[in-house]
Structure formats: structure tokens, C-alpha cells
Amino acid sequence: MGMGDDSGDPEGEAPVHTSETDVPTTGADAAGEAASGETDAVEATDGASEADAGSAPDETTGADAPPAPTPARPHPLGAVLREGIADAVLVRSRPAFGERVLSEGVAEAAEAAESLTLTRIDRVAGEPGYDLVQSVLGIPDAVQAGGDAEEEAERLADLVRPGGRLVLAVWARGALEPLPALVFGALAPVQTGDTPVEDPADITPVIEGADTAGSFAFALGELGLAQVRAEAVPRRFELDGASGADAAWALAERTGMVAAFEVAADDLPQARSRFDAALADQGIRSLDLTMLIAAARRPA
């Protein structure tokens, strides 16, 4: 059975380990914590308190100096990608110092791996023979761009040296709901082109046939990989007011949902307004970001 085949869910036909122990926390709260840490660092570097910076007299003119600019808050989506997704993969891939590593997909995963190993991580595939290849949502990205999930998984596996490790993360069944329906409702009325999107299911980045831990592990085993283990890692993204709507739209863009529609640039603001209104009217306060993470070895 290959990825994209929905003829069954072979939960018991492949070695698989499922876990529900991960704490499902990310989103606006995580971004706020990151923002606080960044602000503290700036204040420590500047060596001045808020009162000192905001109202100190200008010694040359005698007038109050203008308040210091407020440091920009990190975008909530950045916290999700780093703390909710990249780090979840990193604790399972465990890159080590001196290993030759390729990290594709979510860029934050490569950054996290570099900070851990203090060595450069390839972000574009070089010659085969990597000790570790990790792809964080790279397969769904390839499918959204018109590629084939099984072919992409095979390409990644071929880059691993015999005995090396392959770690892949994809979206789980039900992940990102109800984002596809919201995007469809916003963009379908103004889409153009000869092949319009006709159903929200057409833009979901969840890979049919590899959307549960069992089916994902089975599909990778069919590629000839050994010691395959897959697990569901639950995550939720809490939406918080306007910043939450911005992050939800950015996530729709990041996962290729928005790009699936041919829409004139002049119609995008109106579509975005419909998206924000639907998000508020339906009382949607969080999104499911549950992933499937699989680890395997290429036979020696």
C-alpha cells in the first residue's frame, strides 16, 4: 500500500508506537512568552529601564526625548513552527555533533538542529550518504505543489546512507480543521481560471493513506525501510483576536491552501475579510495542528 491509497488503515500491520503524552501547547501564548524573553534580552543589552528610555530629558534641548520604540513581537506562527512542530521532530531525530544532516521543510527545524549540534545543517539536498535526513512537513508541501507523496518519500530515503536515519513529519487526519473550509469559503467566490477548486477537501495538506500512525508506518515499511516507528503528536494552536486571525491566514498560506486558488490581487482583501468574519462568526478559537512523526532506518 502506498501513500494516497485509502483502501484501508492497517493499524496493526506495521511496527508502530503511538503516544499522546506531548503537551498540546503552542500559539499565541507561546508567542507571548517568546516576546517577553526577547524584550528582556533587549532591556538587558541596553542597560536602561523603561522609565529611563521613555522620558529622559534631552540634554541638548531640554525637551523630553521621544519614547524608545517597542520591540516587535514575534509572529505567533513563528512560535508554532519552532516550539510546536520543529522541536517535536528534533527530540525524535536527535542530530549529533559531527553527523551529516539534511533538514528539509519547515526552516525552523534546521535552525533548531544547528543550535543543538553546533554544526551546519544542509537545507538543500547534496550528494547521498547523509547520517540523518529529516523532512518536517516537506512531503505535504511537495504534494501541494503537484508532486507525489510516495515519490517524495523515496527521494528522501535514497539520500540516507545505509544504516542512517530518516525522520518524517506529516499532518494527521483532521489536522488544520476547519481551515480548509474557511479558506474555500473566502476564496471560492472570486477564483478564476480553467480548473477551479470545487471542494475544501481538495486543498487539505493531509495525505490520504498516510494520515494515521499505523497507515504512515505501513507506507514507509513498503518502501523497504526498517525499524519504522510512527506516533501521533497532538498540538493545538490557540487563536487570539486579530493576531490569531493573521496567524491562521499565514498558516493557510504556508500550507499551500491559498495558492491553490487563482485569484486576482484586487480580490484578495475582500476574500481575507470574509475569512476573518467567518473565523469570528463561527467562534473558532483554536486549530488542530496534530502531526504524525515517523522514524526509520535505511537497511545496512
Using CB atoms within 10 Å of the CB of residue 106, give its burial: 0 to 12 exposed, 13 to 18 middle, 19+ buried: buried
Which of 28-42, 158-172, 250-264 is least confident?
Answer: 28-42
Domain 26-31+74-297 in CATH: superfamily? Answer: Vaccinia Virus protein VP39 (3.40.50.150)
Residue of 122, 117, 85, 87 lying closest to 101 (CA atoms): 122
Q: What is the mean pLDDT of residues 37-58?
A: 36
Average pLDDT over the chain, rounded to whole? 79
Q: What is the mean pLDDT of residues 82-110?
A: 85
Structural domain boundaries of the chain? 26-31+74-297
pLDDT, position 264? 94
pLDDT, position 17? 44
pLDDT, position 11? 43
State yes or no: pLDDT of 203 exceeds 70. Answer: yes
State yes or no: pLDDT of 39 exceeds 80. Answer: no
**pLDDT-derived band at 213, boundaries 50, 70, 90:** very high
pLDDT, position 28? 37
Between CA 37 and CA 186 the distance in angstroms is: 36
3-state secondary structure of 229: strand
Sorted by sequence, the CB contacts under 8 Å of residue 214 that are 6+ apart come out as 9, 10, 11, 12, 13, 14, 16, 230
3-state secondary structure of 161: strand
pLDDT, position 193? 83
pLDDT, position 248? 92
Residue of 157, 155, 161, 104 lying closest to 129 (CA atoms): 161
pLDDT, position 107? 80
The answer to whether 29 and 35 are in contact (CB under 8 A) is: no
For 270-290, the DSSP string reads HHHHHHHHHHHHTT--EEE--
Between CA 27 and CA 250 the distance in angstroms is: 13
State yes or no: pLDDT of 18 exceeds 50. Answer: no
**How many percent of the chain have pLDDT more than 90?**
53
State yes or no: pLDDT of 183 exceeds 90. Answer: yes
Q: What is the mean pLDDT of residues 46-60?
A: 41
